[in-house]
Structure 1
Amino acid sequence: MAQKNNIQFSIREYRPTDQHVIMSLFRDGILEHVYPAFFKAMGNPDHVGIALSVCMAGYVLGGSSYFQALLFGSAWAGLIYYCCLDIYEGYMMRRLSTDMANVQASYLENPDNGFWVAEADINGQSKVVGMVAVMGKRGEEEGERFEDWNGGVTGGGSELAQDAGEGGYGEMSHLIVVFSWRRKNLGSQLTRKALDFCKERGFARLVLDVSAPQTAAISLYQKFGFVQTASHCDTHANRWFAKLAKINVMRMEKLI
């Protein structure tokens, strides 16, 4: 049992009674990336130039109207936000209808898979404040990866990939911590749990996919020694939405 600021938490295996709370935690954890992705996209030099051009067009068409310029600029920003929302919401809905629809069957009934929750003891009451999942992959080819984000497009070869056939590998996902419980070492402990599980199962490495706006998560993974081995900008979303959102997805791996 770990302790931070007189509040205790523990990491345990998922139970069927956790279904409702982890679904809510998953939704919130995925959708919170929409705003960072939006601001990152709006800061792209191409989008800055387009935004200025759109505002200027509104100003001219409105007869030197600053309001019209603001209106046109807001419409452009709204479009970018919608594209970012569509990508993360689409990913969320796909996972909710696949592995997250039945965690028991997807993870716990397979010895190579695992799903854990972090439970906090707050004033005598237990509350789920984080979670992480691992899905084991044995005998799969490199081309079968990235399936959740873009239907099987890889970002190129990897020196780590040559170990894929030697014991397989684990794929970590759903690492989410409640906002008020961040910066308390909980994310690190959940990551360590996933690594220990993979080591016990004899996997050669642990891999994960993370989008560029998730800067805190990327920093955490780098601290554990994960390195980027591939990347792509394709998603299951409309290709024009993907181009406008400019969300880059990275594959990170760590040898065990």
Structure 2
Amino acid sequence: MEQKPSLKSIIRPYKPTDKSAIVSLFRFGILEHVYPAFLKAMSHPDHIGVTLSVSVAGYVLGGSSYFQAVLFGGAWACLVYYCCHEAYDGHLRRKLEAEMADIQANFSDKQANGFWVVEMEVNGKSKLAGLLAVKSTDADDAPSLEVFQLVVSFNQRRKGLGTQLVETAVEFCKEQGLSRVIVEISSPQTAAISLFRKLGFTVTSVCVNSNTHANHLVSKLTRINVIRMEKHL
């Protein structure tokens, strides 16, 4: 595919020499959602109720101790944060051990898959500021393209890079003769959801994410949903 320049940036296919920077960017792109997931979970009415209950329990058991109330409530909040971290960190570990272990073999060397990076000139130096990986899938028995991961570095956002990356995937899908692009996003990723909506993707399903971690408690306390979005070409 042709490279797409934008200001001092260019979208190009992945090269083996990108591996270290890309893994770092990939790690950031997943773990940055831990805190938003925590805030979203703690704002749920059920978690608010539990927080108040354990705080009252701490107050009573501590002999009318406000410190004990805060301690108990804080312990509950720490448990929820731990579960949110485990959900995303577990997902990250599985991806690093699977598809990301050999990007060249799993994406670049497979005609139906693709992996692109955003290379930018920052203060006269080349820097990788984003990535997009896609893989073919037979979802619902219909050959489609699935967005494996989309990441734009924090300080390079709101410059249209995410839009250009997704448009690159759409063009690649057309070249492959496919008629649908699929993406699954966790519910705390509100910015990504808004981006895909803007680009013509529609929500087709929302389900509880039961595969983020083997421990059922982790999945239950995080209250993370998986939002499936599709774009038909």
TM-score bucket (shorter structure): over 0.9
- The one-letter code of the counterpart of 1:197 is F
Partners of 2:88 and 2:139 lie apart in 1 by 26
Contact 2:88 2:212 in 1 (8 A): no
Q: Structure 1 stretches (4+) deviating beyond 6 angstroms?
A: none
- 2:221 paired with 1:244: yes
Match runs of 1:210-249 below 5 Å: 210-233=185-208, 234-237=210-213, 238-249=215-226
The one of 168, 183, 193 equivalent to 1:193 is: 168
Structure 2, unaligned runs of 5 or more: none
Instruction: Give, as a single letter, the amino acid of the residue that structure 2 aligns with 1:79.
Output: L
Say which SS state the counterpart of residue 159 (structure 2) adopts.
Answer: coil
Equivalent position amino acid for 1:89 in 2: D
Deviation at 1:240? 1.3
Aligned length: 227
Q: For each residue in 1:189-227, what CA deviation from the matched residue of structure 2 results, as whole angstroms up to 9, or x when unmatched? A: 111111111011111100011001000000000001111
For 2:228, the aligned partner's letter is R
Instruction: List runs of 5+ in structure 1 lacking aligned partners.
Output: 143-163
CA separation in 2, counterparts of 1:178 and 1:108? 22
Counterpart mapping for 1:98-117 below 5 A:
98-117=98-117
Indicate the residue corresponding to 2:133 in structure 1. 133
> Which amino acid counterpart does residue 174 of structure 1 have in structure 2?
Q
Backbone CA RMSD of aligned residues:
0.9
Tell me the distance in 1 between the aligned counterparts of 2:68 and 2:160.
48
Query: What residue number does 1:97 align with?
Result: 97
SS in 2 for 1:63: coil
Q: Which amino acid aligns with 1:212?
A: S
- TM-superposed CA distance for 1:141, in Å, is 5.0
State the distance in 1 between where 2:14 and 2:218 align. Answer: 35
Aligned counterparts, 1:19-38, within 5 A? 19-38=19-38
Q: What is the alpha-carbon distance in structure 2 between the residues aligned to residue 96 and residue 231 of structure 1?
A: 26
Amino-acid identity (%): 52
* 1:177 equivalent in alignment to 2:149: no
Counterpart Cα distance in 2 of 1:225 and 1:35: 28
CA gap of 1:131–1:141, structure 2 versus 1, over 3 A, is closer
The residue number in structure 1 matching 2:84 is 84
